[in-house]
Amino acid sequence: MAEVLLFHHAHGLTPGVLAFAEELRGCGHTVHVPDLYEGRMFDTLEAGAGYAQEVGFGTIVERGVRAAESLPGRIVYAGFSLGVLPAQKLAQTREGAAGVLLFEACVPVEEFGGGWPAGVPVQVHGMDADPFFAGEGDVEAARALVAGAGAGRGELFLYPGDRHLFADPGLAGYDAEAAGLLTARVRGFLDGLAD
């Protein structure tokens, strides 16, 4: 079974993020879910993003890097939206990533100093009309990342719709059908790592 380090989105460590982690645990995986906001949660995306901007995105990423220090090198990094930043940085800069799951965000690989690590599989998930994912360049970064991951190592899944944070059942953007498909694909990805 896989070991996963899962980072939350800009609302904070919501019950929906914890439920997603619990779903993966129910499949036999070990899932670590650090709180990058040190106990804070926000009702709106704008308020949560404002907090991240106030403390500094670099600080949020470094909190994620510190959360990985006591964990084994062979781990799957995963992140929802804002949580993609530490997940992607760790995957690209820490030796031994087993795989990467990026939900609703992706940054150019150059952001963290180079190309995608050889042999590291990745899945990227987002809605095709999400104003953040599709409208701010993340989908183009995802296409480039998937192409750079190599044949059979990268997958980009686009879901119909314009919602952001569609996999968190406690948020207004939740889409049960898309979230169910995302979860099934993630389970398949993690099970495939054990083969």
pLDDT confidence of residue 195: 55
pLDDT confidence of residue 87: 98
pLDDT confidence of residue 151: 78
The answer to whether residue 194 scores a pLDDT higher than 80 is: no
The answer to whether residue 73 scores a pLDDT higher than 90 is: no
pLDDT in tens, 88-118: 999 999 998 999 999 999 999 999 987 899 9
pLDDT confidence of residue 113: 83
Please compute the mean of the pLDDT values over residues 54-73 and round it to a whole number: 95
Please compute the mean of the pLDDT values over residues 31-55 and round it to a whole number: 96
Sorted by where each starts, the structural domains of the chain and their CATH numbers stand as: 3-194 (3.40.50.1820)
Please compute the mean of the pLDDT values over residues 20-40 and round it to a whole number: 97
The answer to whether residue 68 scores a pLDDT higher than 60 is: yes
pLDDT in tens, 141-177: 999 999 989 878 999 999 999 999 999 999 999 999 9
Give dist(CA 164, CA 174) in Å, integer.
8
Mean pLDDT of the chain: 95
